[in-house]
Structure 1
Amino acid sequence: MRLALDVGGTKIAAGIVSDDATVPHPRVVRTPPRDVWGAAEDLLRALAGSGLAGDRRAADGADVEAVGVSCAGPVDLVAGTVAPINIPEWSGGFALRTAVRTSFPGASVRMVADGAAIALGEHRHGAGRGVDDLLALVTSTGVGGGIVLGGRLVPGRTGNAGHIGHVVAVGGTEQCACGGIGCLETVASGPAAVRWATARGWSGRTGVDLARDAGAGDPVASAALARAGTALGEAVASAAALLDVELAVVGGGFSAAGAPLWNPLIAAARRHARLSFLAELQVVPAQLGSAASLAGAATLAGEDPPVP
């Protein structure tokens, strides 16, 4: 049995990996404020025990041969640790790879940042199938991303390549949770857009509320999404020029905000991607939605030899 795990600031997802390196029946729980690993471990152990009901070996995880792990970053693939900005309990560092190995001592454990997992998942199973060079960008509680070049995932020196949420957004002035000033995440994440709108008199509470009100014509909600979409489009154009990619795949829960976000995003990307080698650049929605990072983790667990 092979398992996939995705740990994010909003939810934890896990599933049994099928023969085609997908997760057909994932289980999802909200990320708790405390004992995040306990919640993730409970999910994994329940899955390990579901394969052979009543079989103690399965319940103990002895039948688990591989676990693919995706986690919000930053990550350190050398040390096997994570320090997610959006998971306060782990922000000082958590030895996630060791924790998984302790629970499943006979399994190989392959870990990746969630943005890289999304890039890998979309490349193998989603909007990036057949494309050798792509950037994946995810906007949700935070903003992350990953890179595939020459058909191969590019993790970078520590595993954080593609962490686009911490490039500086044009006109960004707010201090980011990472300590920087004006990071894309402070403009284009769901919570950032909500904060911006709330400060200007909007009365909603969530990104879903923001999308609903923008769709109904609320001027402040519309302006918040336009601001976020423009920043995302500018970042896509900048990254595409740096990496020479032909496709940018944009996903994450906040990306489902619809035309009020997407129209400014596409317009900004086109306005700034003016070099000749960017003429064919396409910006498309992720096909796998919230399952993209779990699909990347499943790919890690489901393939031999290991994905680099």
Structure 2
Amino acid sequence: MTQPWTLAVDLGGTKVDAALVRNGAVNSRSRSRQPTGASATSDQLAASVVAAVTAALAELPVGDTLDSVGVATAGPITIATGSTSPVNLPAWRDFGVRSLVARAVHEVHPGVPVHFGLDGTAITVAEHRYGAGAGIPNLMCIVVSTGIGGGILVDGQLLHGSTGNAGHLGQTYVSGFELPGRPSTAVTFGPRAVTVEEVAAGPGSLAWARQQGWMGDDGLALAADYAAGNAVAIAAVRRSAAAVGQAIAGAAALLNLDAVLVGGGFSRVTPQYTRLVQETVDAHPLPFVRATRVLPSVLGDDGPLLGAAALRHYSGAAAHQL
């Protein structure tokens, strides 16, 4: 008998991806991508999600079956209700994305369970099952992209937290950085405390570089200028890596991690990125923090979809399904 497929959905700040997944592999023919973005309305976001889901399902091979759906989304989320309030998608606040996906799927595949979780959790699941995190019991995986998110495994157990947001590293505070054009939002933490996402994610890094006189258009241009030795591009990338390293060191001090895997589009701005992050972790005064290895993730763009598909195997996500 042919093994059933899982539909995987990954919702982020600039796009939503959907694809069929089986045996730890993404069916590339089924992969569908639709735009999201900070300027999108709620109706536009919903239409993109439904379009991606519908297109992916249309590629289910004749005679094959679908037995589950996994939805991973940028957060914060509320796992019990299947709702999301992505920082970079302001039109959605407590939006029921799990129900939206379920309605689209159940029109053609009634009764298929829909599992739901944070995108950082899904990536951690994927790397632990199929990637560079295999066999590592105390693990954090983070994505540095339009935003910064993550997930955590401690003593081999995936952490969800009370609302499903464990691992939200991008919303932790770092110090010693200023934001272009506005004061820190973290007033209670002092005038120089900001979130790691504000400092180190792609948009913040590009904004800072432009404030220093850089004239490039996007992350690809910044990567090219970094490779060419442009001083501002180099400083922008090092600034991002330092903020990420500072946040990782704090997490490692709290959780005694073995390794942190770093992925996402902005982390690929240079092959040296994880080494630069490691340099900041190595500056921590405690030996057990310095022992934390910072490594690149290996699953690339397939990681979020593989993780979304695998959410069914983890109790926190499996307990919250339709």
Q: 2:56 maps to what in 1?
A: 47
Q: 2:303 maps to what in 1?
A: 292
- The C-alpha deviation readout for 1:182-236, integer Å capped at 9, x for no partner, is 1001111011010001011100021121111011011111111111111111111
1:276 is aligned, of 287, 312, 322, to 287
Alpha-carbon distance between aligned partners in 2 of 1:253 and 1:174, rounded to the nearest angstrom: 21
Q: 1:12 maps to what in 2?
A: 16
- AA partner of residue 69 (structure 2): V
- AA partner of residue 290 (structure 1): D
Q: 1:74 maps to what in 2?
A: 76
CA contact (8 A) 2:179 2:208 kept: no
User: Which segments of 5 or more consecutive residues in structure 1 lack a partner in the other structure?
Assistant: none
**1:30 positional shift:** 4.0
Q: 1:196 maps to what in 2?
A: 208
Partner SS for 2:58: helix
Q: Name which of structure 1's ranges 99-108 and 230-239 shifts more when overlaid on structure 2.
A: 99-108
1:231 has 2:234 as partner: no
Q: 1:99 maps to what in 2?
A: 100
CA contact (8 A) 1:83 1:93 kept: yes
CA contact (8 A) 2:32 2:53 kept: no
Structure 2 CA distance for partners of 1:259 and 1:21, relative to 1, 3 Å: closer
Alpha-carbon distance between aligned partners in 1 of 2:163 and 2:132, rounded to the nearest angstrom: 26
1:36 is aligned, of 36, 45, 48, to 45
- The C-alpha deviation readout for 1:119-156, integer Å capped at 9, x for no partner, is 11111111101111101111000111110112221111
User: Which segments of 5 or more consecutive residues in structure 2 lack a partner in the other structure?
Assistant: 188-193
1:162 has 2:173 as partner: no
Q: Name which of structure 1's ranges 278-287 and 24-33 shifts more when overlaid on structure 2.
A: 24-33
* TM-score when normalising by structure 1: 0.88
CA contact (8 A) 2:283 2:290 kept: no
- AA partner of residue 191 (structure 1): P
- The C-alpha deviation readout for 1:279-307, integer Å capped at 9, x for no partner, is 53211000012222111101124x48765
CA contact (8 A) 2:274 2:295 kept: no
1:143 is aligned, of 117, 142, 148, to 148
2:124 is aligned, of 119, 122, 127, to 119
**1:179 positional shift:** 5.7
1:23 is aligned, of 18, 21, 26, to 26
Partner SS for 1:205: coil
Alpha-carbon distance between aligned partners in 1 of 2:130 and 2:198, rounded to the nearest angstrom: 30
- AA partner of residue 38 (structure 1): A
Alpha-carbon distance between aligned partners in 2 of 1:304 and 1:214, rounded to the nearest angstrom: 40
Alpha-carbon distance between aligned partners in 1 of 2:222 and 2:247, rounded to the nearest angstrom: 22
Alpha-carbon distance between aligned partners in 1 of 2:229 and 2:73, rounded to the nearest angstrom: 36
Q: 2:139 maps to what in 1?
A: 134
Query: RMSD of aligned C-alpha atoms?
Result: 2.3
- AA partner of residue 78 (structure 2): D
Alpha-carbon distance between aligned partners in 1 of 2:128 and 2:272, rounded to the nearest angstrom: 27
Structure 2 CA distance for partners of 1:236 and 1:196, relative to 1, 3 Å: same
1:222 is aligned, of 199, 217, 234, to 234
CA contact (8 A) 2:262 2:274 kept: no
**1:275 positional shift:** 2.3
**1:52 positional shift:** 4.5
Partner SS for 1:300: helix
- The C-alpha deviation readout for 1:4-53, integer Å capped at 9, x for no partner, is 100111221111121x2432425142423341222222222222232256
2:87 is aligned, of 85, 88, 102, to 85
Alpha-carbon distance between aligned partners in 1 of 2:299 and 2:16, rounded to the nearest angstrom: 16
CA contact (8 A) 1:266 1:283 kept: yes
CA contact (8 A) 2:245 2:279 kept: yes
Alpha-carbon distance between aligned partners in 2 of 1:172 and 1:278, rounded to the nearest angstrom: 22
Q: Following superposition, which runs of at least 4 residues in structure 1 exceed 6 angstroms of deviation? A: none
Alpha-carbon distance between aligned partners in 1 of 2:278 and 2:314, rounded to the nearest angstrom: 38
